[in-house]
Amino acid sequence: MQNPNPQGSAGRLPPSLVAHLADQASSVEPQIDAVADAVVLALHEDLTPDGDLSAALVPADAVADGVLASRADGVLAGSACATEAFAQLSDAIEVVWLHSDGDRIAPGDVVATVRGPLAPILTAERTALNFLCRLSGVATTTARWVEAAGAARIWDTRKTTPGLRALERAAVRAGGGWNHRTNLSHWVMLKDNHLTGTDIVSAVASSRSLWPARTVHVECETLNQVRESLEAGADALLLDNMTPTSIITCVAEVHAHGERHGTRPLVEASGGITLDQVADYAATGVDCISTSALTNGAPSLDLGLDLDPDPQRGARA
């Protein structure tokens, strides 16, 4: 990942944003409690009210060996969720990962081995694969954007699957992307609707008064709004639905401010940017490009569980 605090003649980024970026620079794993909670809900919806009727027909002493394998090129993510799905059904299931989240995988690659009692393996199979395929799809899509963007960071958005935000944000990191604010409590973002009846300078001042340690992020649609935000001391600017030419002008204004004051706000481009266009927007000099395509538009990556057709019977070896 890129340096969380690029600097030069244009000045340093605000400390709150440097810390936010540094916190995610080395971790692609989701929080353990988020993994466990998501798997509990997923298994509940798959097993209510009477459990796995088909698996109940499997001999109780049948033991299976299998592999989780990729069917497509992509980036792995979601391994913790897959492991947790098996573990919540039986602590006798052993999952050994041969690849880690963030690894590039190809068709035929074995990403993990699975061994244990056959019935709970079959019960957990779809839940484990749903998480693994979905999150690997997010990581794979993110990796494509990161590769196309070059030096500019690719940021996710809050447009995530309800209940799965922490998992999808981790998958974005696995793909080489960066996370935007966690939720509405993380920092202040002043969009056009928030400015109804007030102005940027007043809104930033009120934000500082109420939450002095929080990042204040302002959405800008014009160069004049960028200038107002710089005057107000905003920590970050979201340049919304601007052309690359307009963004270049705004970035120059921000960098000139940084040269005068030693610090400058982070500059984000967003709004309708496609994968085909991202290189042009990255070339404008923005720090980040945010897109909901990382989560909203990501197709699942094809992975599957292949089991030995002749399960063992009796005690495990």
Where are the alpha helices (H) located in 150-195, listed in sequence order?
Answer: 165-174
Q: CA 238 to CA 211: how far, in whole Å? A: 20
| Band of residue 95 on the pLDDT scale cut at 50, 70, 90 | very high
Cβ-contact 70, 108 below 8 angstroms: yes
pLDDT digits (tens, 9 = 90+) for 154-165: 999 999 999 999
For the chain, the average pLDDT equals 94
Instruction: Exactly one of 12, 158, 159, 208 is catalytic; name it.
Output: 159
| Band of residue 307 on the pLDDT scale cut at 50, 70, 90 | very high
pLDDT digits (tens, 9 = 90+) for 212-230: 999 999 999 999 999 999 9
Instruction: Exactly one of 191, 260, 313, 316 is catalytic; name it.
Output: 191
Active-site annotation holds for 94: no
Across the range 231-237, mean pLDDT stands at 97
Percent residues over pLDDT 70 in the chain: 96
Calculate the alpha carbon distances from 267 to 70, 117, 143, 188, 195 in Å: 37, 53, 21, 15, 19
Across the range 281-309, mean pLDDT stands at 96
Active-site annotation holds for 37: no
Nearby residues of 149 by Cβ (< 8 Å), 6 or more positions away: 278, 279, 281, 282, 289
Active-site annotation holds for 52: no
Q: Give percent helix, percent strand, percent coil of the chain, each to the nearest 5.
A: 40, 20, 40
Across the range 177-182, mean pLDDT stands at 96
**Nearest-5° Cα angle at 83, 79 to 89:** 150
Q: How far out from the chain centre does Cα 153 lie? A: 13
Which part of the chain has CATH 3.90.1170.20?
32-142+300-313
Whole-number pLDDT of residue 179: 96
Percent residues over pLDDT 90 in the chain: 88
Q: Is the pLDDT assigned to residue 3 strictly greater than 60?
A: no
CATH superfamily, domain at 32-142+300-313 = Quinolinate phosphoribosyl transferase, N-terminal domain (3.90.1170.20)
Active-site annotation holds for 240: yes
Which of 8, 2, 1 is CA-nearest to residue 263?
A: 8
Instruction: Exactly one of 156, 219, 235, 287 is catalytic; name it.
Output: 219
What pairing do the DSSP bridges indicate for beta strands 188-190 and 110-117? Answer: unpaired
Which of 204, 153, 161, 143 is CA-nearest to residue 180?
A: 153
Active-site annotation holds for 159: yes
Q: CA 303 to CA 133: how far, in whole Å? A: 6
- One DSSP character per residue, 69-118 reads EESSSEE---HHHHHHHHHHH-TT-EEEESS-TT-EE-TT-EEEEEEEEH
* pTM listed for this prediction: 0.93
15-27+144-294 has CATH 3.10.20.30 classification: no
Two structure tokens written together for 96: 């050994």
Which part of the chain has CATH 3.20.20.70?
15-27+144-294
Instruction: Exactly one of 73, 126, 306, 313 is catalytic; name it.
Output: 126
